[in-house]
Amino acid sequence: MLNGNVIAITSGKGGVGKSTVAVNLALALADIGKKVALIDLDIYGYSVPKILNIESKPKTMNNKIIPVGHENITVMSMGFLLKGNDPVVWRGPMLGKMIDHFFDDVIWGKQDFVILDLPPGTGDIALDLHHKLPKCQEIIVTTPHPNAVHVAERAGMMAKQTNHTILGVIENMSYFSPPNSEEVYHLFGKGGGETLASNLDTNLLASIPLVHPQADGEPSVLLTQDEQLASVYHSLATNLVETLTCEEVK
């Protein structure tokens, strides 16, 4: 069973970097001393194993699954249960069964935070999550582009309609600064995250820049390899912990 602060990272559409945000937030929380589980619930579009470059598989004990340990976090993904890059070709009811499997049949232990990487949109998994975890809190990821903001607002409205708390909005790919330059380029527009946060009556938690991909082709987890990015994620993780701690005190 899950315990601790459960935070779903969601978006209205794909391609906004939701999974990379989920991974880096989990790593940042672990880096400041929190026990963190990361669950890849994007069953059709699973990507966490690739992002983290995990090749090991979970083990079993007494008919329960032991999640994969990686960089001080524990991880579970549909990608661990398939061969290679096989697709998942299921109808909706199977998705709910897999959520139950990840929640109930995995030995998670005591966690401070559980980060859920949800599929984009407002489909079956999002609906099941609202019923199974009524106290789950959500972070909405968008880019600054107006189209991304427009679609992301639907995910936020779904959270509101099902009484999930929206912790805030993360604007990904906010700007680009070339190495060794003070120039700032807003490649996807400007202000979209603030607009979305205003429309959903919540806060803009972070504006995350685009960074150069690594030359050696390593996965796109840049928390420890890009100082600017690391600073943004560490601030995000620290502020989240402080916010949730204050809420518990109330």
Provide long-range contacts, Cβ within 8 A and 24+ apart, for 76-80. Answer: 76/37, 76/38, 76/39, 76/40, 76/102, 76/106, 77/39, 77/40, 77/46, 77/48, 77/49, 78/40, 78/42, 78/43, 78/46, 79/40, 79/46, 79/47, 79/48, 79/49, 79/50, 80/49, 80/54
- Number of residues in the chain: 250
Spatial CA neighbour of 196 closest among 173, 169, 235: 169
What 3-state DSSP class applies to 129? helix
d(CA 38, CA 7): 10
The Cα 105–Cα 85 span in angstroms is: 24
pLDDT tens track, the chain, 250 positions: 788 899 999 999 888 999 999 999 999 999 999 999 999 999 888 999 998 989 899 999 998 999 999 889 999 999 998 877 778 877 767 787 888 889 999 999 999 999 999 998 877 787 788 778 888 999 999 999 999 999 999 999 999 988 899 999 999 999 998 878 889 999 999 999 999 999 999 999 999 998 876 655 555 565 556 777 888 999 999 999 998 876 664 4
Where are the domains positioned within the chain?
5-249
Q: What is the pLDDT of residue 249?
A: 45
- Give dist(CA 219, CA 213) in Å, integer: 9
Q: Fold for domain 5-249?
A: Rossmann fold (3.40.50)
